[in-house]
Amino acid sequence: MDSQTLTLSHVVISLIAIASGFAVLYGLLTAARMHGLTLLFLVTSVATNASGFLFHREHILPSHIVGAIALVVLAITMVALYVNRLSGVWRGVYVIGAVMSLYFNMFVLVAQAFLKVPSLHELAPKGSEPPFAIAQGVLLVIFITVGTLAFKRFRPVAAR
């Protein structure tokens, strides 16, 4: 696969993961399971994180570290949902893992926006300037807040 095709595939998969992730987050906030969208979110999140390792780099980048952590979180999240079926503490593990997985996707989206969007890149050309830190900080606060609400609200009805 050539570099351009890999990049386009990676971006499309990432956007599908983010869109389906927001639908799943809505389901967490409303105690709706959304089985198909959840599977789509988890599969595309794994695919986007795994495909990030296919880009040739001379050394490990922060994106590789985020991707590796995200894959571990996704594995635990899938165990909570599909193996332990949200029983007991696994409900909370699932909620936290799903929210963290969406957060990681959004973290990378913001980072990529600062790299690729000229007006944002001018504000933070190295990715360590205050505008970048503020954007990522705001994103983190939003996800902590929404994740806390999701943790409190997601109590799906047990299957009979």
For 156, which DSSP code? Answer: P
57 pLDDT above the threshold of 50: yes
CA distance 63 to 133: 16
Per-residue model confidence (pLDDT) at position 158: 54
Residue labelled with tokens 């954007």: 135
Looking at residue 24, its amino acid is: V
pTM for the model stands at 0.94
For 67, which DSSP code? Answer: H
**Mean pLDDT of the 118-139 span:** 96
CA distance 54 to 42: 19
136 pLDDT above the threshold of 70: yes
Per-residue model confidence (pLDDT) at position 159: 46
Report the alpha-carbon angle 133-139-55, nearest 5: 75
Q: 102 CB contacts (<8 Å, ≥6 apart)?
A: 18, 21, 22, 24, 25, 41, 45, 143
Average pLDDT over all residues of the chain: 94
The pLDDT tens digits for 95-122 are 999 999 999 999 999 999 999 999 999 9
Per-residue model confidence (pLDDT) at position 1: 75
Give the lowest-confidence range in 52-61, 67-76, 79-88, 127-136.
52-61
- From the number of C-beta atoms within 10 Å of its C-beta (0-12, 13-18, 19+), residue 128 rates as exposed
Per-residue model confidence (pLDDT) at position 157: 66
Report the alpha-carbon angle 59-132-43, nearest 5: 60
8 A C-beta contact, residue 95 and residue 74: no
**Mean pLDDT of the 30-44 span:** 96
CA distance 40 to 38: 5
**Mean pLDDT of the 29-46 span:** 96
The residue extents of the domains of the chain are: 3-153
Per-residue model confidence (pLDDT) at position 160: 39
How many other CB atoms are found less than 10 A from the CB of residue 126? 8
